[in-house]
Amino acid sequence: MSNPLEILLLDDEAIVGKRLKPAIEKINCNVEVFQDPQLAVERINEKEFDIVVTDIYMDDMDGMQVLDIVLKKSSRTKVIMITGYAMISLARDAMEKGAFDFIAKPFKPDELRVVIAKAAKALGSSVDLNTLLKKQER
């Protein structure tokens, strides 16, 4: 079993963090949740995360800026964009800027977990979704 993945989750909707934190922790990840992009950026500057999940439209700063900052800090970090304002042009912009993937709201916790697993694989790490799925079946 590899070290847990370090994940930062940024969304100005409080419920997103509240629900996704336990969901992701179940697949052996450490999750830090932020609602305020400024605080999140400060934390990113302090610590290198494996994966950053960020919303795009937020009041003070948008997800695209966060994406730039993360990639500048550490190019190996996988950035997953989530947004309610899902438009093809926006997704394309994000992908061109180097985002790992793009998830449109509303999504199920599993959709994010699958993308995280993919990102983990790309990082040379692995996330075991099977145990979780089995658990759900049980």
Counting contacts by CB under 8 A, is residue 88 touching other proteins?
no
Would you list the DSSP string of the chain?
-PPPEEEEEE-SSHHHHHHHHHHHHTTSEEEEEES-HHHHHHHHHHS--SEEEEES--SSS-HHHHHHHHHHH-TT-EEEEEESS--HHHHHHHHHHT-SEEEESS--HHHHHHHHHHHHHHTT----HHHHHHHHH-
Measured from the CB atom, the residue of 11 and 50 that comes closer to other proteins is 11
Counting contacts by CB under 8 A, is residue 76 touching other proteins?
no
List binders of other proteins among 25-54 (CB under 8 A).
Answer: none
Among 2, 47, 60, 107, contact with other proteins (rule: CB under 8 A)? 107
Measured from the CB atom, the residue of 6 and 13 that comes closer to other proteins is 13
Measured from the CB atom, the residue of 69 and 123 that comes closer to other proteins is 69
Q: How many residues does the chain have?
A: 138
Counting contacts by CB under 8 A, is residue 20 touching other proteins?
yes
Which parts of this chain interact with other proteins (CB under 8 A)? Answer: 13, 15-16, 18-20, 22-23, 57, 62, 84-86, 104-110, 136
